[in-house]
Structure 1
């Protein structure tokens, strides 16, 4: 299968579903990680150009750990909008990956870029397979099955299915640690905790509910047409 995760910023995908992606990759599936914005405001010291370049290199290093293909959309951080040009780029991201399964942000996450990226991805799910919706790439042969990723810190998100990521938690840590610049950023404006500390809190809580060491939680997109089921997820807990 082809697996596509779409995140608003560098590190979003790693935080919410890197363990699941690592399991897919280990099973031989093709994994794509599409990042909508370039993260070019996420620094207390660097210029926009400097931090944007740093975050792209960090994202490339993270993708390399599981052999994922990076799709870099390069929108400005904090300025993501649901308009035609942006939708066109999202459509081509989906068409490039031709996914069987797609992971997107939940629509009630805390950050507007998260919510908007999730909404655009959901809205592009069907048009990406429509031949006469013309973009730079040909239409997809099928409509992907979509799962919502957990919210940041798990706030306001009630998973309905869990993936046991205990066997790949070290891989998830390594992928997050590639985003070294975000440790500085998180400590500067959010809390005195590392990016991996924040991840492990949520993964541990989800794991406790799923009766395993660490887990990632998801919800299905259940609108018409139904294209799959939770059985598409690896290592269900």
Structure 2
């Protein structure tokens, strides 16, 4: 990416917007390009500012962050989304991740960690550790065992579409590894890992690495 990472903030709390503006405005390599107070304003703001990353509140009065995220991620070439929440086990967070958000941040996250998360997501790197993903999955697991079994079966059927090497890469993504770490583990170049990730995303009809990680967790393989 050339130039600063362009960031749009979406939150109905003016104090949160002001705090994020201070954090982002003082960070090297980042540029705050807009602020809006509701998910309903997101399409127009994205069209006007062309952000690379959107920091998206989950709960807003008219259009919530989940709906706004789903709409954004259905657009070709849309920005990456990091959802903002006050609880790390919120079922809405998991739904947003399944819809295509690249990760989530608690609203009391230290400023340096917010900046790091934005940079990592803009660079296409994972920002959810395997521990965080497992905890989310555990907290919002389906209540009934048959539904869980059905989800596992469906997930494994989808992963069966991959080649053996793509399957290995998908499992490594599910472990939260970066491209460089996957390359070292599987004796592949970073460019080759990127190519495998791109192909498996197309085959699985997913938009980012977090969704791959969730699928491997659904399949109970990591």
Question: Which TM-score band applies after superposition, normalised by the shorter structure?
Answer: 0.3 to 0.5
| TM-score (ref. length: structure 1) | 0.34
**Considering only CA atoms, is the larger Rg found in Structure 1 or Structure 2?**
2
**More contact order relative to length (CA 8 Å, sep ≥ 6):** 1
| TM-score (ref. length: structure 2) | 0.36
- Could you say which structure has the higher strand fraction? 1
- Could you say which structure has the higher helix fraction? 2
